[in-house]
C-alpha cells in the first residue's frame, strides 16, 4: 500500500506521458539550506519518497525536512498470466514525475559534512543519480 497518494482524482487512470527536457520549476532550493536535486528523469514512487523522508528525518535529527514532490500520477499493471487485451490494467502504484533539475527534498539544521553524508544515504533510496544542492547565495551574502 503506498504511503502517499491523492485524496481524490478526476480520472482513475492516466496515460504514461513523456519526460523531455529539464525542470523549469522547483529547480531551486527554496525552503531549507540544502536540497536533493534529480539529475535524470524518473518516476519516483510513493514508497521511494517515504524511504527518503525517513532517511532524512533520521539524518537531520536536529533539523527540518521538506518534501517537494507528490505522487499524483497513477500507473497501471495488467495482472500476471492474463491474456493481452481486455482493457487497461488496474492501478498498481502512484508516482511523482521528476525531470532533471527538480529539487525533490530539502533539509536544514545540519553542517555541510553532515549534509554530504545524508545525501549519500538518501541517494541509495532513489532510482536516479542526484546531487546535493546548496541554497544559492552571492559571495557577500554568505
Partner 1 sequence: MLVNAIRRPLTVKAGALRRQGFVPAVLYGAHVASLHVSIPEKELLDMLDHVTRSTPVEVKVDGKKTYHVFLKEIQVHPITEKFLHLDLYVADPERPLEMNVPVRFLGTPRGIKDGGVFEAVHSYIPVQAVPAKMPPRIEVDVSDLGIGDSILVKDLPWPEGVEPQLPPEDAVVTVAARRALEVEAPVAAEAVPAEGAEVEEEKPTGGEQPAA
Answer yes or no whether residue 123 interacts with partner 1 by CB under 8 A.
Answer: no
Answer yes or no whether residue 31 interacts with partner 1 by CB under 8 A.
Answer: yes
Residues 35-94 that bind partner 1 (CB under 8 A): 37, 39, 53, 56-57, 62-70, 74, 90-94
Question: Residue 31: phi, psi to the nearest 5?
Answer: -110, -50
The nearer residue to partner 1, 26 or 123, going by C-beta atoms, is: 26
The nearer residue to partner 1, 85 or 139, going by C-beta atoms, is: 139
Q: Which of 4, 19, 51, 132 forms a contact with partner 1 (CB under 8 A)?
A: 4
Least CB distance from residue 120 to partner 1, whole Å? 19
Answer yes or no whether residue 97 interacts with partner 1 by CB under 8 A.
Answer: no
The nearer residue to partner 1, 16 or 58, going by C-beta atoms, is: 58
Phi-psi region of 17 (alpha: psi -120 to 50; beta: other; left: phi over 0): left
Q: Which stretches of the chain bind partner 1, using CB under 8 A?
A: 1-12, 22-23, 26-28, 31, 37, 39, 53, 56-57, 62-70, 74, 90-94, 100-101, 108-109, 131, 135-141
Amino acid at each position: 500500500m503506498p504511503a502517499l497518494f491523492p485524496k481524490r482524482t478526476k480520472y482513475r487512470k492516466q496515460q504514461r506521458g513523456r519526460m523531455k527536457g529539464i525542470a523549469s520549476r522547483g529547480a531551486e532550493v527554496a525552503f531549507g539550506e540544502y536540497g536533493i536535486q534529480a539529475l535524470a528523469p524518473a518516476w519516483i514512487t510513493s514508497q521511494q519518497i517515504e524511504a527518503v523522508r525517513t532517511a532524512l528525518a533520521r539524518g537531520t535529527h536536529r533539523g527540518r525536512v521538506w518534501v517537494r514532490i507528490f505522487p499524483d500520477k497513477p500507473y497501471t499493471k495488467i495482472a500476471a498470466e492474463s491474456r493481452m487485451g481486455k482493457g487497461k490494467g488496474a492501478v498498481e502504484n502512484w508516482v511523482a514525475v521528476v525531470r532533471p533539475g527538480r529539487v525533490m527534498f530539502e533539509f536544514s539544521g545540519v553542517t555541510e559534512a553532515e549534509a554530504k553524508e545524508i545525501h549519500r544515504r538518501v541517494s541509495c533510496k532513489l532510482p536516479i543519480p542526484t546531487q546535493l544542492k546548496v541554497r544559492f547565495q552571492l559571495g557577500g551574502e554568505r
